[in-house]
Amino acid sequence: MPEPLRRIAIKHRELVKFALVGGTTWVIDTVVFLGLKSTVLEPKPITAKILAVLVATIVSYVLNREWSFRTRGGRERHHEAALFFVISGVGVAVYTAPLAISRYVFHLAEPAVSLLTQEIADFVSGQVLGVILGMAFRWWAFRRFVFPDVNVRRRPAGADVDEPQDVPERAAGSSPAPADHDPVGS
């Protein structure tokens, strides 16, 4: 990668990782949405979209927690996961709103428009506009509420700076054992 781009990517690595996770989950969302919409849920595009977003959201939680925001945290895992899924639930409404508006406000559906126009409108509203709005909302909300604290999941000594690692959590009140501790005694 050219040096100017490398510096920008390193400076904004969390956003770059979030965008890559978003791109991956967009592909998952798109494949599931189009697969459901063209088969078992043909007459129900909103249901197909909601199911697609839910599948992508599960993948998103794992990838964001373990990669994009791996050094952020500040909450117990169950609380963090609950917030992630609540915010993602709100994100489903944000993602789905453009598709609902396209279909039910602008009536961009058969028989009012051709099948080609309907499919293009569904794709643009559901997979482009909805995704952009949903990702912007989720980026803000995840950093603000789900992973609010920076560098709370520390890196062990000698870890690669570009790829931070988690340190196993210690029980409350316990202290770390010295690195050169000899339990037998010398």
Say what the pLDDT of residue 150 is.
Answer: 83
Tokens of 133: 């709005």
* Nearby residues of 21 by Cβ (< 8 Å), 6 or more positions away: 60, 63, 64, 67, 68
**pLDDT for res 169:** 40
Mean pLDDT by 10 residues, the chain (186 residues): 83 88 91 95 91 89 90 82 90 89 94 95 92 88 89 60 42 38 38
pLDDT at 7: 86
What pTM was computed for the model? 0.62
